[in-house]
Amino acid sequence: MADPLVDSLADPLFYARAIHFAATLLVAGAVFFVVFVAAPAWRGAGDGTVATKVRTRVALIAWISLALAVISGAVWLVLTAAAMSDRPPEQAFGVLWTVLSQTVFGRDWLLRLVLACALAATLPPLLSRRAHQSPWLEPAAVVLAAAFAGTLAWSGHAAGGLGSDAILHPAADALHLIAAAAWVGALPPLIVLFAAAGTDDASLTMARTATERFSILGIASVGTLLATGIVNTFYLVGSVPALYGTAYGRLLLIKIALFLAMVAIAAVNRFSLTPQLLQHANIAASRDALRRLRRHAAIEALAGATIIAIVAALGTMAPAIHAAHAHPTYEAVPADAAFVHIHLTEAMADVTIRPGRAGRARATIRLWNEDFAPLDARQVSLTLTAPSVAGNPTPRPASQRRDGAWQVDGIALAEPGNWTVSVGVVLGPTKRLTLTAPIVIEPGQ
Indicate if the pLDDT at residue 116 is higher than 60: yes
Supply φ then ψ for residue 59, to 5 degrees: -60, -40
CA quadruple 206, 211, 212, 218: dihedral sign? positive
Where do the structural domains in the chain lie, given as residue ranges? 4-323, 338-441
Alpha carbon of 53 to those of 189, 215, 432: distances in Å? 12, 22, 51
Q: Within 13 A of 203's CA, how many CA atoms are on the CB side?
A: 18
Interval 199-228 mean pLDDT: 90
| DSSP-derived secondary structure letter, 262 | H
Whole-angstrom distance, CA of residue 9 vs CA of residue 316: 9
When mean pLDDT is compared across 17-31, 80-94, 298-312, the lowest value belongs to 80-94
CA distances from 57 to 148, 197, 434 (A): 22, 13, 50
Does position 324 have pLDDT exceeding 60, yes or no?
Answer: no
What single-letter amino acid sits at 180?
Answer: A
Residue pair 327/368 in contact (Cβ under 8 Å)? The answer is yes
More confident residue, 366 or 167: 366
CA neighbor of 348 nearest in space, from 222, 435, 266: 435
Residues 6+ apart with CB under 8 A from 309: 18
Question: pLDDT category, 144, cuts 50, 70, 90?
Answer: very high
Mean pLDDT lowest among 96-100, 116-120, 162-166, 199-203: 162-166
- Average pLDDT over every residue of 329-355: 78
CA distances from 107 to 45, 99, 111, 358 (A): 44, 8, 6, 27
Q: Which residue has the higher pLDDT, 149 or 93?
A: 149
Most confident stretch, 38-52, 96-110, 200-214, 320-334:
200-214
Residue 276 sits at φ, ψ, to 5 deg, of -65, -40
Q: Region 115-142: what's the mean pLDDT?
A: 88
Q: In the prediction, which pLDDT does 322 show?
A: 56
- Mean pLDDT confidence for 39-58: 79
Instruction: Determine the pLDDT at residue 148.
Output: 98
How far apart are the C-alpha atoms of 165 and 158, rounded to whole Å?
Answer: 8
Pairing, β 406-413 against β 417-426 = unpaired
Position 329 scores a pLDDT of 39
Q: Give the pLDDT band (50/70/90) at residue 359.
A: confident
pLDDT at 239 over 70: yes
Instruction: Tell me what percent of the residues of the chain surpass a pLDDT of 70.
Output: 88
What is the band of 326 on the pLDDT scale with cuts at 50, 70, 90? Answer: very low
Strands of 289-371, DSSP E: 338-343, 348-354, 359-368
- How far CA 98 is from CA of 1, 15, 37, 380, in Å, comes to 34, 24, 42, 15
For residue 258, the model assigns a pLDDT of 96
pLDDT at 251: 93
Which distant-in-sequence residues (6+ apart) come within 8 Å of 167 by Cβ?
Answer: 161
Q: Which helix (H) or strand (E) holds 432?
A: strand 432-441
pLDDT digits (tens, 9 = 90+) for 286-323: 889 999 999 999 999 999 999 999 999 988 776 776 55
State how far the alpha carbon of 444 is from the alpha carbons of 92, 212, 361, in Å.
Answer: 34, 67, 11
| Helical pair 137-150 and 104-126, crossing angle rounded to 10 deg | 150
CA dihedral 36, 40, 124, 29 (to 10 degrees): -30
CATH 2.60.40.1930 fits 338-441, yes or no: yes
* Collapsed DSSP state (helix, strand, coil) of residue 319: coil
